[in-house]
């Protein structure tokens, strides 16, 4: 498939009613709690114990001394009493001290919150897996909680044997479990307009990563005897009120697409498509049809409303580019990031996420001088195809103003572009597929903010 960030042909359909246009409006600054703002200082102290002796760390000016905390000599109350019983919560919940860790909706983003987005708090997560309760949500017509006992999934169209499956039918078929990212095509949409979104949660938080379990779609298509000679595409249809329908090429459908019921070791959450959703690795989130009820096999793209008038790229010459589904290679520094504050000069672990819809991440470079010099970051394992990859790099802040950035390169050799490189091809009317390098500015007070560097 072509790289959608290169100039490409025109498409026929004019936009009438972009639901996701709403994503282009400015959003309100959401109050990060004082606790989360202090996060950088606290995490530094924890890391200090583990890394003492490291060369960058040795240059720290922060003093975590024994003398500084004489209370350590007194046993705390919780070390002297009986703790809570097992199964106090039959389904475990996070500590009450983590109550501010939430996916957040941006007030006023859309007219009704049933057709809105709740963003994943990337700034506070570790590793690559998104806890299921913090997985971002994007619904066009609200979410539904469907009884799996009554749910049915149909395959029809260009197949010898059209079939209707129950959940029991599906769950006894051969299944696979794979870790993949899902990113909405409109993630980072507001950055097209040089609008400074206040935190990475809102700029990049339509991004999550989970282990998904289900039956490969190829197994089901074989089971129904798809037309091997003439079939070219499938159409996936959701069971909610939005009549979500998306065309996917047959090649992709037979490659790594999964009809999934599992997410992070348990059934999907209702917001994320319970009991059945399509997992389309590397492809924009809209094709990951939730509450999946039907797949039709066909011989040409369906140009449904969700691909003719929505989710098409507005090009500078006034045309709309359709079917640009791949999420290109991208990365972002999640800590330090806008809305956080460095409390002192000294050592920091710069950390972030990188991903590519075309395969594995090969390298991530980090700049702490606005893109003049780059150092290669450490990629943490596992580095998987079409999956988030965590990167880390040591840094000592000398207290002067800096701009920090990350730049990812995937296994195809594609290099994440600068925003002006992307604008040169895509213009400024785009909503979708902004994979530009993100810049965070740190000022002398340690405040981190969102800036654009050309
Ligand atoms: N499927 C249905 N049936 N209805 C929807 O509104 N939203 C799509 C997609 N699948 C949607 C859907 C969009 S735009 C995205 S980005 C992803 O689901 C979001 O998935 P999530 O809510 O699990 O994060």
- Asked whether residue 91 is assigned to any structural domain, the reply reads no
Query: Has residue 20 got a pLDDT over 90?
Result: no
- The mean per-residue pLDDT over the stretch 349-353 comes to 98
**DSSP string for residues in 160-192:** SS-EEEEHHHHHTS--EEEEEEEE-TTTTGGGG
Determine which residue's CA is closest to atom 23 belonging to ligand 1.
272
Of 132, 186, 290, 294, the residue with max ligand 1 atoms within 8 A of its CB, to mutate for a pocket test, comes to 290
Q: Of 106-110, 304-308, 401-405, where does the model show the most confidence? A: 401-405
Counting from 1 in the atom list of ligand 1, the atom nearest the Cα of 278 is: 10
Query: Has residue 143 got a pLDDT over 70?
Result: yes
Please report which confidence band the pLDDT of residue 64 belongs to, taking 50, 70 and 90 as the band edges: low
Do 54 and 104 sit in the same domain of this protein? no
Q: Give the pLDDT of residue 193.
A: 83
- The mean per-residue pLDDT over the stretch 269-287 comes to 98
Pairwise CA distance, residues 2 & 295, whole Å? 25
Greatest C-alpha distance within the chain? 78
Closest CA to 180 of 415, 358, 3: 358
Counting from 1 in the atom list of ligand 1, the atom nearest the Cα of 238 is: 3
Q: Give the pLDDT of residue 361.
A: 98
Total length of the chain: 454
Do 317 and 347 sit in the same domain of this protein? no
* Final residue before a domain boundary, out of 27, 55, 71: 71
Q: Give the pLDDT of residue 231.
A: 98
Do 253 and 130 sit in the same domain of this protein? yes
Pairwise CA distance, residues 211 & 125, whole Å? 16
- Asked whether residue 23 is assigned to any structural domain, the reply reads yes
Do 150 and 290 sit in the same domain of this protein? yes
CA 19 to chain centre: 20
Q: Give the pLDDT of residue 194.
A: 72
Q: Which carries the bigger pLDDT value, residue 441 or residue 15?
A: 441
Q: Give the pLDDT of residue 151.
A: 98
Query: Helix, strand, or coil here: 60?
Result: coil
Do 389 and 425 sit in the same domain of this protein? yes
- Asked whether residue 87 is assigned to any structural domain, the reply reads no
Domain extent, residue 403, equals 330-451
* Final residue before a domain boundary, out of 273, 289, 321: 321
Q: Give the pLDDT of residue 111.
A: 79
Q: Find the CATH number of the domain harbouring 410.
A: 2.60.40.650
Strand extents, DSSP E, 46-145: 104-105, 117-119, 137-138
Q: Do residues 364 and 409 lie in contact, with contact meaning Cβ atoms separated by under 8 Å? A: yes
Query: Has residue 290 got a pLDDT over 90?
Result: yes
Q: Give the pLDDT of residue 272.
A: 98
Of 115, 134, 244, 275, the residue with max ligand 1 atoms within 8 A of its CB, to mutate for a pocket test, comes to 244
Pairwise CA distance, residues 37 & 72, whole Å? 25
Query: Helix, strand, or coil here: 142?
Result: coil
Domain count for the chain: 3
Q: Which carries the bigger pLDDT value, residue 32 or residue 434?
A: 434
Please report which confidence band the pLDDT of residue 59 belongs to, taking 50, 70 and 90 as the band edges: low
Do 194 and 238 sit in the same domain of this protein? yes
Lowest mean pLDDT among 72-81, 232-241, 261-270, 388-397: 72-81
CA 387 to chain centre: 10
Closest CA to 395 of 323, 450, 336, 334: 336
> What's the distance, Cα to Cα, between the start and end of the chain in Å?
28
Do 268 and 405 sit in the same domain of this protein? no
Query: Helix, strand, or coil here: 156?
Result: strand
- The mean per-residue pLDDT over the stretch 79-96 comes to 96
Lowest mean pLDDT among 214-223, 318-327, 342-351, 377-386: 318-327
Query: Running DSSP on this structure, what letter comes out for residue 130?
Result: P
pLDDT digits (tens, 9 = 90+) for 191-228: 988 777 999 999 999 999 999 999 999 999 999 999 99
Pairwise CA distance, residues 204 & 448, whole Å? 16
Do 272 and 334 sit in the same domain of this protein? no
Q: Give the pLDDT of residue 212.
A: 98
Do 287 and 355 sit in the same domain of this protein? no
- The mean per-residue pLDDT over the stretch 108-136 comes to 93
Provide the β-strand partners of residue 226: 159
Tokens of 418: 């600068």
- Asked whether residue 273 is assigned to any structural domain, the reply reads yes
* Final residue before a domain boundary, out of 55, 71, 87: 71
Mean model confidence pLDDT for the chain: 87
Cα of 278 from ligand 1 centre, angstroms: 10
List Cα–Cα distances, 196 to 25, 72, 200, 427, in angstroms: 11, 43, 10, 18
Do 275 and 340 sit in the same domain of this protein? no
Verify cis geometry, omega within 30 degrees of 0, for the bond prior to 336: yes
Tokens of 237: 């249809």
Determine which residue's CA is closest to atom 5 belonging to ligand 1.
139
Query: Has residue 8 got a pLDDT over 70?
Result: no
- Asked whether residue 272 is assigned to any structural domain, the reply reads yes
Q: Of 57-61, 110-114, 306-310, 336-340, where does the model show the most confidence? A: 336-340
Tokens of 29: 């600054």
Closest CA to 1 of 199, 214, 284: 284
Spell out which residues line ligand 1, taking CB within 6 angstroms: 135-140, 182, 184, 238, 240, 242, 244, 271-272, 285-286, 288-291
- Asked whether residue 379 is assigned to any structural domain, the reply reads yes
- Asked whether residue 77 is assigned to any structural domain, the reply reads no
Do 211 and 138 sit in the same domain of this protein? yes
Q: Give the pLDDT of residue 14.
A: 25
Q: Do residues 441 and 402 lie in contact, with contact meaning Cβ atoms separated by under 8 Å? A: yes
Q: Which carries the bigger pLDDT value, residue 265 or residue 195?
A: 265
Do 334 and 393 sit in the same domain of this protein? yes
- Asked whether residue 352 is assigned to any structural domain, the reply reads yes
Tokens of 327: 């999420």
């Amino acid at each position: 498939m072509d790289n959608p960030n290169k100039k490409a042909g025109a498409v026929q359909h004019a936009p009438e009613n972009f639901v996701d246009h709403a994503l282009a409006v400015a959003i309100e600054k959401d109050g990060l709690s004082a606790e989360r703002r202090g996060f950088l200082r606290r995490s530094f102290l924890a890391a200090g114990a583990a890394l003492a002796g490291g060369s960058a760390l040795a240059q720290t000016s922060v003093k975590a001394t024994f003398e500084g905390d004489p209370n350590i000599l007194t046993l705390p109350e919780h070390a002297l009493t009986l703790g809570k019983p097992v199964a106090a919560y039959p389904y475990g919940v996070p500590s009450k001290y983590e109550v501010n860790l939430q996916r957040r909706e941006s007030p006023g983003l859309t007219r009704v919150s049933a057709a809105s987005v709740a963003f994943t708090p990337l700034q506070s997560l570790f590793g690559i897996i998104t806890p299921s309760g913090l997985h971002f949500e994007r619904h066009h017509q609200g979410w539904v909680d469907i009884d799996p006992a009554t749910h049915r999934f149909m395959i029809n169209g260009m197949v010898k044997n059209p079939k209707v499956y129950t959940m029991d039918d599906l769950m006894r078929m051969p299944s696979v479990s794979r870790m993949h990212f899902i990113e909405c095509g409109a993630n980072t949409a507001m950055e097209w307009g040089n609008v400074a979104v206040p935190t990475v949660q809102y700029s990049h938080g339509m991004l999550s990563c989970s282990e998904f379990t289900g039956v490969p779609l190829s197994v089901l298509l074989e089971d129904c005897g798809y037309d091997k000679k003439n079939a070219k595409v499938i159409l996936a249809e959701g069971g909610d009120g939005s009549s979500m329908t998306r065309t996917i090429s047959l090649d992709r459908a037979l490659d790594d697409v999964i009809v999934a019921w599992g997410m992070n070791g348990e059934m999907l959450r209702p917001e994320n498509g319970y009991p059945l959703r399509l997992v389309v690795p590397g492809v924009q989130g809209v094709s990951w049809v939730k509450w999946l009820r039907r797949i039709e096999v066909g011989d040409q793209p369906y140009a449904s409303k969700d691909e003719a008038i929505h989710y098409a790229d507005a090009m500078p010459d006034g045309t709309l580019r359709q079917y640009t589904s791949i999420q290109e290679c991208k990365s972002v520094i999640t800590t330090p990031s806008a809305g956080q504050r460095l409390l002192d000069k000294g050592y920091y672990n710069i950390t972030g996420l990188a991903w590519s819809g075309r395969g594995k991440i090969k390298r991530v470079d980090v700049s702490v001088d606005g893109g003049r010099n780059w150092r290669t970051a450490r990629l943490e394992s596992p580095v998987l195809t079409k999956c988030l990859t965590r990167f880390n790099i040591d840094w000592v802040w000398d207290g002067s103003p800096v701009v920090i950035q990350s730049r990812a390169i995937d296994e195809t050799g594609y290099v994440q572009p600068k925003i002006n490189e992307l604008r040169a091809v895509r213009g400024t009317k785009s909503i979708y597929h902004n994979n530009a390098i993100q810049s965070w500015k740190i000022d002398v007070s340690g405040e981190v903010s969102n800036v654009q560097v050309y």
